[in-house]
Amino acid sequence: MRVQVAIVGGGPSGQLLGRLLQQAGIDAVILERQSGDYVLGRIRAGVLEQVCIDLMDEAGVGERMHREGLIHGGFDMLFNGERHRIDMEQLTGGKHVMVYGQTELTRDLMDARRAAGLTTIYQAGNVTVHDFDTAKPRVRYEKDGQTHEIECDFIAGCDGFHGICRASIPRRAIHEYEKTYPFGWLGVLSETPPVHEELIYANSPRGFALCSQRSHSRSRYYLQVPLTDKVEDWSDETFWQELRLRLDPDAREKLVTGPSIEKSIAPLRSFVTEPMHFGRMFLAGDAAHIVPPTGAKGLNLAATDVKYLSGALIEFYQDRSEAAIGHYSERCLRRIWRAERFSWWFTSLMHRFPENGEIGQKFQEAELDYLVNSRAASTSLAENYVGLPL
Ligand code: APR
Ligand code: PHB
């Protein structure tokens, strides 16, 4: 098989890239290690910045998102037992975010791809990338006991943090920056109405908690837990009990509990690869960078990488110009580092770090007090949350 672009990974990055290239008449194949159902079974944050909303519209797949997505003009910060609303709309001159599950966004893109009759090879085994330092890269994979080879002009590494694209780049050619955090997030999805119409980020003496949602009838909650905890250690009952203890009296009263439909623990990490390309292979999304989930920047960063990458590839084919592909990494990294800084800061502010001692906690309390009582500090939080300009 020969295509212009071989996309490795069929998560949100790979699907969105495939769609934007298709609209420009560029021929691409997507190779995904898992099945489509498996990809849709992964529950991740779903808070879309305007840039991501616009991109879904540009891709012509925004219809259901606008129908079902929930516009949020603010969120609550809970500390010292009290809630303080960050009015994003007011602080940023009318900007907001949209709550729409990442699963749903991925499903919309997959459906559009299927309807257009384009190829996605699911359950592609042992995918390997070759000759991407030449003008004729190749990708090999196994399917139904046979080895196949694809020739292409470019490889797009959209294969997530554990993918093979970044791992295939010679070590000397890239630099990786990494920070891990000494706790994880235990998440529960439940078919219950959200405790509040907006999100609540809680800094409690018992650890961080987040009250999020997927719709008016489906909630997503998280608790900071030690990395040594296992999902089996947490029954639904112990989860709800602990969540209640981390909330304010009003939320505690209003919380509606029910059986979990998904429960998982995710570690937190800050990670960036520089540069985001090697020869004719370009990395996008989680393959190149990870943020801790506080502030929900992961999907939004993936979307902007894809916006820049699709634009650069379109320029290459339409104008025969390599200028934009040459600037791809630099363009993405400026936005990535700003979101990395914000996610690290928001994580540091909201979680318990016993290793920082009593004084660390006092610094947090003072910063939270400043944050909600200074318009300048609230504006900084709000403008980062809605997404910094491109
Ligand atoms: N061959 C083929 N596919 C692979 C391989 C491989 N060797 N390794 C991984 N994949 C697939 C995974 O199965 C997954 O479906 O690549 C896909 C990568 O998807 P994601 O991990 O969702 O990454 P991305 O599409 O960049 O999406 C970024 O995900 O983690 C969140 O917060 C993050 O919202 C952001 C989004
Ligand atoms: C989520 O709904 O999963 C979510 C929302 C906001 C975050 C992180 C996760 O900051």
Q: Is the pLDDT of residue 61 over 90?
A: yes
Catalytic residue status for 293: yes
Distance separating alpha carbons of residues 261 and 242, to the nearest angstrom: 18
Find out whether the beta carbon of 305 lies less than 6 Å from any atom of ligand 1.
no
Among the listed residues 96, 196, 277, 297, the single catalytic one is 297
Residue 20 domain-assigned? yes
- Write down the pLDDT at residue 7: 98
From residue 202, how far is each of 17, 25, 212, 244, 348 by CA, in Å? 35, 47, 11, 11, 13
Same domain (yes/no): 54, 169: yes
CATH code where residue 141 lies: 3.50.50.60
Tokens encoding 300: 């939004």
Query: What digits encode the pLDDT tens for the residues 74-123?
Result: 999 999 999 999 999 999 999 999 999 999 999 999 999 999 999 899 99
Instruction: Return the SS3 of 376.
Output: helix
65 with 127, same domain: the answer is yes
Report the chain's mean pLDDT, rounded to a whole number.
97
pLDDT bin (cut points 50, 70, 90) of residue 311 is very high
Q: How far is the CA of 161 from the centre of ligand 1 (A)?
A: 7
Q: Whose CA is nearest to atom 5 of ligand 2?
A: 45
- pLDDT of 273 strictly over 90: yes
Same domain, yes or no: 254 and 132: no
Residue nearest to atom 4 of ligand 2 (CA): 45
Region 231-237: mean pLDDT is: 98
Cβ(31) to ligand 1 under 6 A? yes
**Whether residues 124 and 164 fall in one domain:** yes
CA dist 106 and 73 (Å) reads: 24
73 pLDDT band, cuts 50/70/90, is: very high
Annotated active-site residue 201? The verdict is yes
Helix H or strand E encompassing 202: strand 200-204
Q: Is residue 87 part of a domain?
A: no
Active site residue 72: yes
For residues 209-234, average pLDDT: 97
pLDDT 10s digits, 293-310: 999 999 999 999 999 999
Closest CA to 4 of 378, 261, 280: 280
Domain count, the chain: 2
Q: What is the pLDDT of residue 177?
A: 98
CA distance 159 to 320: 27
- Domain range for 203: 182-268+356-386
Domain assignment present for 82: no
Q: What is the mean pLDDT of residues 14-19?
A: 98
Whether the link from the prior residue into 275 is cis, omega within 30° of 0, is yes
297 annotated active-site: yes
Looking at the structure, tell me whether residues 222 and 334 fall in a common domain.
no
For residue 34 the two structure tokens come to 């898992």
Q: Which three-class secondary structure string do you get for 135-179?
A: CCCEEEEEECCEEEEEECCEEEECCCCCCCHHHHCCHHHCEEEEE
Domain membership of residue 285 (yes or no) is yes
Q: What is the pLDDT of residues 315-348, one digit of tens each?
A: 999 999 999 999 999 999 999 999 999 999 999 9
- Catalytic-role residue among 100, 141, 222, 385: 385
Q: Are residues 109 and 191 in the same domain?
A: no
In a domain, 65, yes or no: yes
What's the mean pLDDT in 157-181?
98
**In-domain check, residue 83:** no
Which is it for strands 5-8 and 28-31: parallel, antiparallel or unpaired?
parallel
Catalytic residue among 12, 137, 292, 293: 293
Say if pTM beats, i.e. exceeds, 0.85: yes
Q: Rounded CA gap, 376 and 382, in Å?
A: 10
241 and 221 both lie in a single domain: yes
Q: Is residue 351 part of a domain?
A: no
260 found inside a domain: yes
Q: Return the CATH number at 213.
A: 3.30.9.10
User: Within this chain, do residues 310 and 193 fall inside the same structural domain, yes or no?
Assistant: no
**pLDDT reported for residue 224:** 98
Which of 49, 78, 98, 212 to mutate to test ligand 2, by most ligand atoms within 8 A of the CB atom?
A: 212
Confidence of residue 43 (pLDDT cuts 50, 70, 90): confident
Note whether 296 and 248 are same-domain residues: no
Residues 63-79 have a mean pLDDT of: 98
Respond yes or no: is residue 328 known to be catalytic.
Answer: no
Is there a single domain that holds both residue 276 and residue 191? Answer: no
| Residues 47 and 120 both lie in one domain | yes
Co-location of 264 and 274 in the same domain: no
Residues 6+ apart with CB under 8 A from 215: 68, 70
| Pocket of ligand 1 contains residue 190 by CB under 6 Å | no
